[in-house]
A = this chain, B = another copy of it.
Amino acid sequence: MSHGPARKTLQAGVTRNDRLMSDGRTIRYYDTEVIPRTAQDQRPQEDQPEIGELRLDSLLNEWVAMAPHRQSRIFLPPKELCPLCPTVGDLLTEVPERTYNVVVFDNRSPSLRPPDQDWVLPKLLGPSTATATAAGKCEVVCFTQEHGKSFADLSPAQVRTVLEAWRDRTSELSQLPYIEHIFPFENRGEEIGVTLAHPHGQIYAYSFLPPRVARMLEAARNHKELTGRVLYDDVVAREINEKVRIVAQNQHWIAFVPFASRYPFEIHVAPRTAVADLSELSLEACDAFPEIALEVLKRLDGVFAIPMAYIAAWHQAPIREDRDLLRLHWQITSVRRAPGKLKYLAGSESAMGAFIMDMYPEQSAQQLRNVVLGK
């Protein structure tokens, strides 16, 4: 199961075909038509980079991943050298086929890598905690073969295929014994540090509970004890009730600016029927996702009439513990606070963790609602 079958049928008419790359990595083609995926990776074999380290920051009891091989990773190449475009002619890219819909392949410069079989996370003992190899898995998700597009330009059917790929990866990565948490996300825009312009996202599968997830779990546990209810359900109920921060909605999803957002533009997109992760979404909820996803991203691009730099993050429940305490939601945060101005994480945010917001969430929800969408 760990590499999946060579061909697999998923929901919404999507099939997946797996191929090996010349350095041993796997590429998975997600298609809605039956397309033979037989192209060979023509590139010479290449050694995979060394695995990094997990070191404990004992002052906060948080793991930090050291991935020094990433310093030399490719940085904003010109369009004609894009490694995420299909392979056409002499330029051998990460995708051997001449066309593709959606592909997911193992990251060439992964921060986290599959460890040896006997790998275990060290016990937390303060400054004397042992160092571990940086176990986990990092994958790249290409949303479309078209270099100049962005997620917001995809058709609803394309978004549906991307969703199916995310769901498939979540299910399969959940089976790996060293994985604790799965995080599909997209960084968009140079302002946010994107090093490749081609529309793509990533999946990080962590071998430890990410610090922010650990804190969300703690808050959810307290709330459960206090009220018997799931915290995120109460948060969504409040937003539905107060209405002022809702940005978009349909029968299965609701999108709102959170009551205490940390960024000038922050949106949560949550299913009305709460689930733990992408793999648990109903067929109806899946089919209703493209509409709200595209609306939300177009509203973001519309606020200042320029492509909005954002981080779009899928929050899921951890794989192995407290799956009933955290809920699936898609959190989109943008650092742009005005047409030439970004919100920076400076002293207060970075060193103290105390966020200062330059506008009220109700104002940003209003601005997002005011965007007139083309059809």
Interface residues of A (CB under 8 A from B): 53, 55-68, 70-71, 75, 111, 125-127, 181, 183, 185-187, 192-194, 202, 204, 206, 208, 210-213, 215-216, 218-220, 222-223, 226-227, 231-232, 234-235, 238, 258-262, 311, 313, 315, 331, 333, 337-338, 341-348, 350-361, 363
Contact = CB atoms under 8 A, between A and B. Distances in A.
Contact of A57 (B220, B258, B351): B258
A61 B260 CA distance: 11
A206 B352 contact: yes
Determine chain A's interface SS by DSSP, over half rule.
mixed
B222 A61 contact: yes
Contacts of A235: 58-59, 127
A223 B56 CA distance: 14
A327 B194 CA distance: 37
A14 to B, nearest CB: 24
A212 B60 contact: yes
Contact of A75 (B56, B210, B341): B341
A127 B65 contact: no
A348 B59 contact: no
Given A347-B185, A363-B68, A59 B216 contact: yes
A204 B356 CA distance: 11
B331 A238 contact: no
A212 B215 CA distance: 12
Contacts of A232: 59
21 contacts: A55-B259, A56-B260, A57-B259, A57-B260, A57-B262, A58-B259, A59-B258, A61-B218, A64-B261, A64-B356, A66-B359, A71-B358, A126-B222, A185-B351, A192-B346, A193-B343, A210-B348, A210-B354, A213-B352, A215-B215, A315-B351
